[in-house]
Structure 1
Amino acid sequence: MSLKNDITHIASAHKKFFVSLLIVFVPILYLLSGFYSVGQEQRAIVTQLGKVIEDNVMPGMHYHLPWPFEKVQKLTSTSLRSISIDFSEGAQKFIQPELTTGDGNLVTVALEVQYNVSEPSVFYNAALDAEAVLQQIARAETLYYVGGNGFESVLTTGRTRFQNYIKNAIQSYTHQYQLGLRITSVQIKRLEPPLSIKKGFDKVAAARSEKQKLIQDARGERSTQLAKARSEANKTKLNAQAYAKEATEKALGDHERFIALLEAYNESPDITIQRQYIEQVEQVMSRAKISIVKPELVVKE
């Protein structure tokens, strides 16, 4: 007997058993298909015949009525997403890739918008492609800001203000259009003049940097010279004060000696004169050089 005949024979002999097995296990498998899991960085939306019945299912194991009654849509909501906007890429032939500033100059701009899904159900139902809407909003606001500000402001001092404006403006429109997104940051990846004028702009920027460097060097040299002059002035002042003190003390000492000598002279003029004479001789002789010559060495005329 062949294998095929064996299988046919067993199926025929146990037909009721297999039918009962299918009747029991198929519904069980169908019901078990309703279990689903949500990851740590995910949120789930459960719809029943197209209507949202649960809009923010948290991570873990959950259950829903199997298809076609209910459907589960999982969204990565907590992780950070980003879109890049580069006006120089993908521009049509009749549209220039640069943006025009408020004073008529040209700049090339590239941005990166970072965001996450703050309201999964709103994001799921807001638009067919909410991220495409977000990109169009970012492009429109960038054009509006660059067109309303001058060249120098956009490229130099206004970069941080530019980023903050774009972030706040996009967030405002996402709330207005109910996209369910939260903008975390806007980063400028490229903001510079076109290559055709970049060399001239770089020279201007280099000259500005050199000017600031010269100013800083001059201020540093000025500070050094002022500190040196103050030090010299203090030194001269201290020397003058020391000299004045020494001269004053010397004058006071001479005055006291003179008064004492005058009093001694009034009491004993002869003795005082003789003592002064001896002291003067001693002072002179202490500085005098004395040479003793033998008499026989003296040449007589």
Structure 2
Amino acid sequence: MSLREDLQQVSQHSQRLWLLLLGVIPLIYLLSGFYSVGAEQRGILSRFGKIVDDKIAPGMHYRLPWPIESVEKLQVTAVRSMELDFAIAPHDKHLQLELTTGDENLINVALILQYNIQEAGIFQHQAAAPEQLLRQLAHAESIQYVASQKIGDLLTTGRNQFQSSLQQAIQQQTRTLNLGINITSVQIRRLEPPQSIKQVFDDVAVARAEKQEKIQVEQGERSSTLAKARSDANRQQQQTQAYVSELLARANGDRDRLMSTWEEYRQAPDLIGQRMYLEMLEQVMPKAKMTLAEPSFP
């Protein structure tokens, strides 16, 4: 085989290879448009940098190959957490570590903010740092709410109200700024007075508990005394009613006997009168005393 024939053969192989490459490369380019979205993800489809769909559901999808269209995948269903601890020194040295209440007391606050992404496209492109903005909103709303409340209410009956009100306020602000975030809960991790005055509040809490205990004891004794008094009153009332019934029965019996005797006396007055006289003597004589005295003669 001559050199010329070898060169021709090599040229033919090269042509076939180039033809194969020209057929395969476009196919690979077109197949690169297939992509999948995970179960907890949402896809954001952009065409030449402009969002055309920000709610691509989980599963297999197709897009036009890059650079015509591109897809961003974002975790949206998973709940995210953010801790807000006002006791940690902030970057801004002018901010205080404790919050001031409406009655001018200081209080330490630490919160857990839980949220998820409601609008993936808005969250990704509306603000440069939406979670940092969310943190700033939560700080501002916390300061504003605490400043409107008394410390006693915050430490006792107002904890649940604090959480729910703060959640609603932060959610309202995120909707106003169109951040695409849904606030699922706000939980109090720490809510207490500073250590410098904590003992005072502890003493107040102990005194309040002791007062409540004394009130409960006094109420128990009062209930017991009232129950005993009602029992004694009922017993005396029953005894009185029994005595009255006995007197009435006795009076009725005496009346009946008197009427019967009177009827008999009216029919035979001499006989009944003599019998009554003898019965009286039977009653009186046993009680009579007789004294015999001898006569004295001068």
TM superposition score normalised by structure 2: 0.81
Alignment length (residue pairs): 275
The alpha-carbon deviation at position 137 of structure 1 amounts to 0.5
Which residues in structure 2 correspond to 1:130-149 (within 5 Å)?
Answer: 130-149=130-149
State the one-letter code of the partner of 2:108: T
Whole-Å separation in 2 of the counterparts to 1:187 and 1:237: 60
Structure 1 window deviating more from structure 2 (150-159 vs 179-188): it is 150-159
Provide the residue aligned with 2:6 in structure 1. Answer: none
Shift of 1:278: 7.3
The one-letter code sitting in structure 1 at the alignment partner of 2:167 is K
Corresponding position of 2:73: 74
Over 3 Å counting, the alpha-carbon distance change for 1:86 and 1:265 in structure 2 is same
| Structure 1 residue 136, shift from structure 2 partner | 0.5
Displacement of 1:86: 0.3
- Per the alignment, residue 123 of structure 2 pairs with 123
**1:22-37 mapped onto 2 (5 Å cutoff):** 22-37=21-36
28-37 or 263-272: bigger deviation: 263-272
Query: What is the one-letter code of the residue matched to 1:220?
Result: G
Q: Deviations over 1:249-290 (max 9, x none)?
A: 2211221111112212222346545489579979x99xxxxx
Deviation at 1:155, TM superposition (A): 2.5
Partner of 1:56: 55
In 1, distance between residues paired with 2:71 and 2:277? Answer: 126
CA pair 94-11 structure 1, distance change in 2 beyond 3 A:
farther
SS at match of 2:109: strand
Given residue 89 of structure 1, which amino acid in structure 2 is its aligned partner?
A: I
Residue in 1 that maps onto 2:295: none
- CA deviations 1:216-258 (Å, max 9, x no partner) are 2212221222122122212221221122122212211221111
Superposition map of 1:85-104 within 5 A:
85-91=84-90, 95-104=95-104
For 1:264, the aligned partner's letter is E
**Which one is further off, 141-150 or 244-253?**
141-150
> Counterpart of 1:237?
237
Once the two structures are superposed, the pairs formed by residues 149-164 of structure 1 within 5 Å of their partners are 149-164=149-164
Task: Tell me which amino acid in the other structure corresponds to 1:242.
Answer: A
Q: Give matches, 1:167-178, under 5 Å.
A: 167-178=167-178
Q: What CA distance in whole angstroms lies between the structure 1 residues aligned with 2:96 and 2:196?
A: 13
CA shift in 2, pair 1:137/1:95, >3 Å: closer
**Distance change in 2, residues 1:69/1:243 (3 Å):** same
User: Partner residue of 1:7?
Assistant: none
Displacement after TM superposition at 1:157 (Å): 3.4
- Report the identity percentage: 47
Instruction: Give distance in 2, aligned partners of 1:165 and 1:112.
Output: 14
**Any gaps of 5 or more consecutive residues in structure 2?**
1-8, 287-298
Moved more, 265-274 or 40-49: 265-274
Q: Distance in 2 between matches of 1:280 and 1:53?
A: 131
List, as ranges, runs of 4+ consecutive aligned residues in structure 1 with deviation greater than 6 Å. Answer: 10-13, 278-282
Task: Map 1:1-301 onto structure 2 (within 5 A).
Answer: 14-91=13-90, 95-269=95-269, 272=272, 274=275
The runs of 5 or more residues in structure 1 that have no matched partner are 1-9, 286-301
Which residue identity does 1:179 align to in structure 2? L
Query: How far is the alpha carbon of 1:135 from its aligned partner?
Result: 0.4
Pair 1:14–1:253, CA change in 2 (3 A): farther
| Amino acid in the other structure paired with 2:58 | P
* Shift in Å, 1:194: 1.0
> Aligned Cα RMSD in Å?
2.9
* 3-state secondary structure, aligned to 2:110: strand
Deviates more, 1:94-103 or 1:118-127: 94-103
- Quickly say closer, same or farther: Cα 1:61–1:262, change in 2 above 3 A: same
1:13 Cα deviation from its structure 2 partner: 8.0
1:50-75 residue CA offsets vs partner (Å, 9 max, x unmatched): 10011211222211112222111122
Aligned equivalents of 1:100 and 1:51: distance in 2?
46
Residue 141 to residue 177, structure 1, CA distance change in 2 (3 Å): same
Q: Aligned equivalents of 2:109 and 2:282: distance in 1?
A: 100
